[in-house]
Chain A
Amino acid sequence: MTDRELTYTYYPGCSLKSAAYAYEDSTQVVSKSLGIRLNEIDDWNCCGATEYFSVNQLPAYSLVARNLSLAHSQYGGADVVAPCSACFLNLRKTNDYMRKYKNLNAQVGQALGAGGLSYTPGSVRVRHLLDVVVEDVGFDAVKEKVVKPLEGLKVAPYYGCLIVRPETGYNTEYPTHLDELMTTLGAEVVDFPMKTHCCGGHMTQISEETAYELIRRILKNATDYGAQAIVTLCPMCQLNLDAYQSEVNKMFGTDYHIPVLFFTQLMGIAFGLNEADLGFGAEVVPAGPALATIGHPAEQTRQRPKRRDKNALPMPGSNGADES
């Protein structure tokens, strides 16, 4: 199937352009290798995450609808692909709710109209990147690309909440499509009962006690089951499990040091792609030791090249310092 090009409209979302650049980088090279063409929506805006929705619903739906409207006007009815689970949920939910609830549709339509836009709900379909890989590319085509199977690497496939909920056609409590993908790459999948449990989301910013307990449960469960790495498909899950792992260790007196990687990074390794293009080294808990056990010494030293965004504004007090 990879000899023909699969074309999608791409919504990266804010995280992939900053904290989760490893996801963005690996998504780009893996998609290319699979014949997936991603046309990024020009001038997309934030999906509102949970914050906008939690205090301001109608503006939040309107915010998301602007992206759907731009997607349709720029690339017609091509499916919109979002690698971030929160973006995926917000885009899909807005699309579904506008179709289902006439009053909401009318009000969002009026709000869009104030910006000279319109959107007919359902005119694009919203997909998660994992779904595209599993359903449209398919395991057979993925298998054909595998040149360096991940043999001997024990991974815990962690789905988080949003990719399978509210309803996406996969089992909401015990999905297996990421498990199967990992098996296709040659990895050993550990049965991982907490695979759809919550990582704490934005609670890390609000109530550390609540968030760290949720993170601890997932780290403990994956470790208890012998995983050498956790594989995720959501930037928020990756950030929480990776960046707060040492805080969790401090709070609970534990000693977890399990790397948390994006599924696209592991696909890239199995496909034999250049590891420097897969964003390794961005993770706080290094992936190197786990990958070394299967003979893939991941690049640990690469720094993100300086990249100035022409739309970026200087912030007072930042001395114009960039992101190095």
Chain B
Amino acid sequence: MATPSSTRLLDQVMAETPGGETLIGCLQCGTCGGSCPSASDMDSTPRRLFAMLMADMDEDVLTSNTPWFCVSCYYCTVRCPQDIPITDLMYTLKQKAIQAGHYHQDAHAPFSESFIGYVEQYGRSFEFGLATRFQLVHHPLATVRKGGLGFQMLRKGRLHMTPQKIKNMPQLSAILSKAKQLAGQEV
């Protein structure tokens, strides 16, 4: 989260992740990849991705699907012998990929963004709006196929038709704007 003093992607990623400087101590032991439930869908294991990052293969790192298949289970993080916050590094790598205009698979970043859109507008997430809007835009056929599931959830009272809004939205907006400004993002 500090302003990067170097143009090396590695340095930026380490600086922008709390505790990220520990990445330099990666042993390349492979424990992370061996633990990861999503590894079979990833083009590189976390270990390999970190090796590429250290070798300044920035383009390959930023276009890799690895961070996008990370399900944030923290398995790698608790098992890493060097206490490297791997899950958090995956978050930073996603941010970097978005900034660089590489989404890898187009649905991933938009899903996060539509979620964030609801939070920024209402202060709470809105599962019905999120699921329907996102699915309609990105998986229209699947939405029709899964219509039964949505209907069932709705019938059981598990999906709200209306989003809930917090009372002090101006306060939350001010906090988020300031945070974005500090993170060097457009407000």
Which residues of A line the B interface, CB within 8 A? 14-15, 17-21, 43-46, 48-59, 61-63, 66, 89, 97, 100-101, 103-104, 107-108, 110-117, 161-162, 165-167, 172-173, 197-198, 200-203, 205-210, 214, 243-244, 246-247, 281-282, 284, 303-304, 309, 311-315, 318, 321-324
Contacts and interface: CB of A to CB of B under 8 A. Distances in A.
Interface residues of B, number: 80
A314 B161 CA distance: 8
A117 B159 CA distance: 32
A259 B38 CA distance: 25
B22 to A, nearest CB: 12
A129 to B, nearest CB: 19
Contacts of B98: 55
A309 B163 CA distance: 9
Interface in B108-153: 108-109, 111-113, 115-116, 119, 122-129, 131, 134-135, 142, 146, 149, 152-153
Contact of B162 (A20, A112, A312): A312
B175 A62 contact: yes
A48 B85 CA distance: 19
Interface of B: 1-2, 16-19, 37-38, 41, 68-69, 71-75, 77-78, 85, 87-88, 90-92, 94-95, 98, 105, 107-109, 111-113, 115-116, 119, 122-129, 131, 134-135, 142, 146, 149, 152-168, 171-172, 174-180, 182-183, 185
B169 to A, nearest CB: 9
Contacts of B119: 45-46, 48, 52, 63
B175 A104 contact: no
A166 B178 contact: no
A93 to B, nearest CB: 9
A115 B92 contact: no
A31 B149 CA distance: 31
B138 to A, nearest CB: 9
Looking at B90, B156, B171, which has the most chain A CB atoms within 10 Å of its CB?
Answer: B156
B77 A309 contact: no
Determine which residue in B91, B111, B131, B162 has the highest number of CB atoms from chain A within 10 A of its CB, and name it: B162
